[in-house]
Chain A
């Protein structure tokens, strides 16, 4: 975003760069070319973030006029909304749900997604069909897949029929948490599979041939060739999924329902507060969630060096 601070180029400079100002000219051209998308991003991402941040400091006090029954609202600025978030009993549990969903779902999705990618990468009859079939869950909107799984996990549904048990999936408890993880994994493992497949396809075959000549086992080749070379793609996929799960709202909301403590996430609490017209508290929850996600993303980028800008490792010769 440092590009924005550069002066706008005079007309024409971008097209006739003198030799010594070449770099600056390129920078200015880049800034000019990028400015429309930066302005759009600023409007659709930056402004709502700032607006929500401001709103989270707006404290409203509401009373009912005893004569008319009308609501009287007084607003001031303060930290009360944040105090309400951190001192209330509705922060730790949703925070833990949000975090545990992220850890569990993403871990399982990586394993299944990589396996899917390896299968899709093989040359065999009907490979195109398998690729298309694996992608179907990813193509279905989350709310719809939530409904599908709600039917499956119904007390009289398919899951109980297959298990031969009477598990009450939508009641409070570990089983509700598990049902969300299962549905989320089903939906998004293909996404990881797809990104990893893209990574697999740019690994040159000669490497494997060389490994075979050197007498490396399949497992050894997978560990020493496939994994390191697919890593950049995998890290980006995992980061995207992590950010996605941390703000999860629709799946637990549709599948299990609102205000169920076992699956309530921070987004759901923010939504709940908003539906009850406590916009300040809702914005405070949303801001806390935003900072948490930013911190996780920062830690992840630091630890694994996710190549988001696309100038990192390149393995093609």
Chain B
């Protein structure tokens, strides 16, 4: 930044402020604007989405190379399955397009692809919560449901691919929450795994009396203000017999059942059943606490099973824990559904190939492989009763139980707004800055607004 002109030499120590900005016909505002524009990056995404021509469903024509857009293929299983398909269909090769690991970034890329009407992605591997949004925006095609073995799948899982009574996506895998519990401590205290919230609190009290139970907190889930809070809140409401959004698509969180559900969560923080830091827990934070032996009960996805059983010293609880379905108000609770669904992009070419590929990719044989290699829960009911798989994954029976009672997360086109509304009020109630009643009244208002798209 040292100029080469020697004209403006000044005596050292004098007031050095030159109005440099006014030198040479450049007013200060021009300099400021240039500086600001260099420092500001604006996102100029095209937002005026015009109405695409209505496409009659079931028009899947064209064969040739296609792509599969999905999150990271961490184990290489997907590529192996694609290689098998490609060797059998040399003229209809499928290329893997790997998207970022974070779900939000995947959605961004899917949406960018749709907004530019690009044919770069043919088959999309979607989180079920996006299906409504993608279907409503006509970014994905309605699929001929009759051509898929949906009757062999768990009904709740098939539902995640539906919008307005039509099938827009086919389950690729699924997921439900389990209650991980410390078998050794429960045995010592002489109590059974709980099926209700009250039982769970009693079990905690019994374990707290043990010398080994002194530094063990009772229960944690995912309570940080992110998607996990929506999952855990929906589970609490469903486990008390309520719904977040009813079958007609109306918000229903100002009900007695929803109050009882949220009350269970807020009381847990108030009376110390949940450790204070659990209000910042995401999946991995809770897993670390559970593996360090700091939690008696933990609501978690099945992936924790293998990691917490690791014999390399990373887990202090290896072989000392069991799993049960989530507890509820008067009996077993209901889990939220996770998983992934396959859909066909409206703007893609070679849709006949895409349809055949989805049939292959979501087949029972592939689901079995995905379970064995990635412990991804299959959508096919039959696999849960397979003796060989049950030996390898002892939690499968429990997971099937959890899945058969599981509920999809609210089906809302503007899901991003819906989940923000839920997180906002639920977090306020958990931190105690709002009463349960006030939080649910606000949630009802915001959620209704998100559903009505106003």
Contacts and interface: CB of A to CB of B under 8 A. Distances in A.
A131 interface: no
B280 A260 contact: no
A208 B267 CA distance: 68
A309 B276 contact: no
B116 to A, nearest CB: 14
A302 B23 contact: no
A243 B39 CA distance: 6
Contacts of A247: 39-41
A307 B10 CA distance: 14
Interface range on chain A (Cβ under 8 Å from partner): 35 or more
B44 A51 contact: yes
Contacts of A311: 3, 5, 8, 20, 23-24
A37 interface: no
Given A154-B285, A275-B108, A298-B28, A243 B136 contact: no
A106 to B, nearest CB: 13
B137 to A, nearest CB: 5
Interface stretch (A15-23, A59-67, A107-115, A116-124): A59-67
B56 to A, nearest CB: 12
Contact of B453 (A62, A270, A293, A313): A62
A110 B42 CA distance: 27
A257 B225 contact: yes
A32 to B, nearest CB: 18
Given A257-B225, A306-B21, A225 B13 contact: yes
A178 interface: no
Contacts of B13: 224-225, 228-229
B111 interface: yes
Contacts of A313: 8, 10, 16-18
Contacts of A217: none
B16 A228 contact: yes
B280 A276 contact: no
B143 to A, nearest CB: 15
B305 interface: no
Interface stretch (B78-86, B190-198, B384-392, B414-422): B414-422
Contact of A240 (B39, B276, B427): B39
Interface string A268-296: 00111011110110110011011001111
Q: Which of B12, B46, B107 has the most CB of A within 10 A?
A: B12
B163 A312 contact: no
Interface stretch (B47-55, B308-316, B323-331, B354-362): B47-55
Contact of B18 (A257, A271, A275, A305): A305
A307 B12 contact: no
Contacts of A239: 35
Given A55-B47, A297-B32, A290 B40 contact: yes
Nearest to B1: A310
Contact of B19 (A51, A258, A287, A305): A305
A139 interface: no
Interface in B116-155: 135-138
Interface in B282-311: 285, 288-289, 292
B43 A52 contact: yes
A228 to B, nearest CB: 5
B38 interface: yes
Given A297-B32, A309-B23, A311-B24, A52 B44 contact: yes
Of B3, B137, B280, most A-chain CB atoms within 10 Å: B280
Given A259-B420, A311-B5, A314-B9, A232 B277 contact: no
A69 B163 contact: yes
A168 B424 CA distance: 18
B135 A69 contact: yes
B26 A309 contact: yes
B424 A229 contact: no
Interface in A196-239: 202, 207, 224-225, 228-229, 231-233, 236, 239
Interface string B407-434: 0000001101100100110010001000
Interface of A: 1-2, 45-49, 51-52, 55, 58, 60, 62-64, 68-73, 75, 154-156, 166, 168-172, 202, 207, 224-225, 228-229, 231-233, 236, 239-240, 243-244, 246-247, 257-260, 270-272, 274-277, 279-280, 282-283, 286-287, 289-290, 293-298, 300-302, 304-317
21 contacts: A2-B25, A45-B37, A60-B48, A73-B49, A155-B285, A168-B280, A224-B13, A232-B16, A233-B1, A274-B45, A275-B104, A279-B46, A279-B48, A280-B47, A294-B32, A294-B33, A295-B32, A298-B29, A298-B32, A312-B20, A314-B2
Given A63-B453, A279-B46, A286-B40, 15 more contacts: A46-B37, A64-B136, A69-B136, A155-B285, A247-B39, A277-B47, A286-B42, A293-B40, A294-B33, A294-B37, A297-B36, A298-B33, A304-B17, A306-B20, A311-B24
A-B residue pairs, 7 tightest by C-beta? A279-B47, A243-B39, A69-B164, A155-B277, A298-B32, A312-B20, A297-B32
